[in-house]
Structure 1
Amino acid sequence: MFWFYDPTYILLIPAILLAMYAQFKVQSTFSKYTNVRNRYGYRAYEVARRLLNEAGLYDVSIEMIPGSLTDHYDPRSRVLRLSQTVYGSDSIAAIGVAAHETGHAIQHANGYIPLKLRNAIVPVANIGTNISWPLLVMGFIFGLTQLIDIGIILFSAVVLFQIITLPVELNASNRAIKLLESGGLFMRDELYPARQVLNAAALTYVAAAFASIMNLIRLLILRDRRD
């Protein structure tokens, strides 16, 4: 019945397929190169610590956190957090992830503008994530155009966040490859698998941004039809 009444759902099919492919790609690529060891024997946290020190970021600490691929850099507490599957691993996949998060720490220290913009809109994007859809659902059910408009505005902040995230993540991955190459931490033939891991991870952000954009287009069409 939803398909009959709302043909705009068809706009989401490419986004759903891309998201499924991106998730498959990142999991399969990470699993593949988890079994390929760094020939120098470095572990992920050791690589991260060395890269941070070379960048002069001695005050950025490294912590291990639960989960798999939950790795992130926290700019507020200046802590690089590596997941259990990454922290003590000497695999190329794990080291690539650790180097990527180190790239974020260096972005923060250097005042990378896209990162500043992303951090600035995080509060609004969080509000949009939590509130936009309840407002939109109520607006469409009860025919309240003002609620629909507010929901679309808040969801637009989420879309903007996803778009700004793309250059931030791509830049962090590029920094990671350069750091691994210039730091003598990888042999040259190990850079390719590391790049494959990071490219697969980047695809998930592309998929998320594309899905958000298609959702926004769909909402605008529905809003126009409501008028």
Structure 2
Amino acid sequence: MYPFFYDSTMIILIPAIILAMYAQSKVKSTYAKYVRIPSKKGYTGADAARAILDKNGLSDVNIQHIGGVLSDHYDPRTRVLRLSDQVYRGTSIASSAIAAHEVGHAIQHAKSYAPLIFRNAIVPVVNFASNLSWFFIMAGLIFAGMQSLLDIGIILFTGAVIFQIVTLPVEFNASSRALSELESVGVLTREEIPQSKKVLNAAALTYVAATATAVAQLIRLLLIRDRRR
């Protein structure tokens, strides 16, 4: 057998790797473009988030400023929306779009959106299983007579793949909610909505790429397992 990281099954990962590289480039270039375009109404990301939260009866959800770039997220455990500096203070189209997307997750949480509830529930298990999976996978590959270790590793890794797949409807739905709220609350004008959609679509592509990579890796592992039998 070829060394694990250089065997013939690597070709399966190439399309996913290319997609991931494109997605990262796309989200950076799109964000860089629209973070420089101020919105006509001048809402900061924090203002936009507060307006949408209050409209949806979520005045008890706090908004916090955090460091980093594109580190924005909603924490369902503490019901806190955390926005990075350019989003929190920025008045750009990108700032409003990203803030509204994260509010979309808060709305999902409040409405018990099933895919989000399921994803949040499996996070601890998936994190543990994903880290442990590679120990079993590598052990199963190194020790030819211990096929069961490889099987266990693949089963554990499948959990990470399921997590990525479930993440897709969660992210797409949050973006859909964001675009609807941005216009209905009046944060952005109707003419600015297509621009904000470009920001959110670029971000969504990164999740598609992550899912494609995880699925490709799982298929590769299954082929390696079957070839060793």
For 1:74, the equivalent position in structure 2 comes to 75
The equivalent of 1:127 in structure 2 is 128
Q: Which residue of 1 aligns with 2:212?
A: 210
| Separation of aligned partners in 1, 2:6 and 2:117 | 42
Query: 1:95/1:8 Cα in 2 relative to 1: closer, same or farther (>3 Å)?
Result: same
CA shift for structure 1 position 128 = 2.2
Out of 167, 171, 181, the residue aligned to residue 165 of structure 1 is 167
TM-score of the two chains, using structure 2 as the length reference = 0.96
For residues 1-227 of structure 1, what are the structure 2 equivalents within 5 Å?
2=3, 6-143=7-144, 144-227=146-229
Letter in 2 for 1:125: V
Q: How many residues align?
A: 227
Give the deviation of 1:121 after TM superposition. Answer: 1.2
Q: Please give the per-residue CA displacement for 1:160-189, whole angstroms capped at 9, x wherever unaligned.
A: 000000000000000000000111111111
Which secondary structure does the structure 2 equivalent of 1:189 belong to?
A: coil
Q: Deviations over 1:94-130 (max 9, x none)?
A: 1100000000000000000010111111112101221
Between the aligned partners of 1:150 and 1:196, the Cα distance in structure 2 is 41
**Alignment partners' CA distance in 2, 1:96 and 1:147:** 45
Q: Percent identity?
A: 57
On the 8 A contact 2:65/2:83 being kept in 1, the answer is yes
Which deviates further from its counterpart, 68-77 or 137-146?
Answer: 137-146
SS at match of 1:188: coil
Q: State the TM-score, normalized to the length of structure 1.
A: 0.97
Amino acid aligned to 2:167: T
1:116-171 CA-to-partner distances (Å, cap 9, x unmatched) read 11111111210122111122111100122121111101100000000000000000
Partners of 1:4 and 1:33 lie apart in 2 by 39
Cα 1:189–1:9 shift into 2, 3 Å: same
CA RMSD after TM alignment: 1.3
Instruction: Supply the AA of the counterpart residue of 1:177.
Output: L
SS in 1 for 2:217: helix
Runs of 4+ in 1 over 4 A off after TM superposition: 1-5
SS of the residue 1:81 aligns to: strand
Alpha-carbon separation, structure 1, partners of 2:64 and 2:31 = 21
**3-state SS of the aligned residue for 1:82?**
strand
> Structure 1 residue 4: deviation in Å?
10
**SS in structure 2 at match of 1:208:** helix
Please, which runs of 5 or more residues in structure 2 have no aligned partner?
none
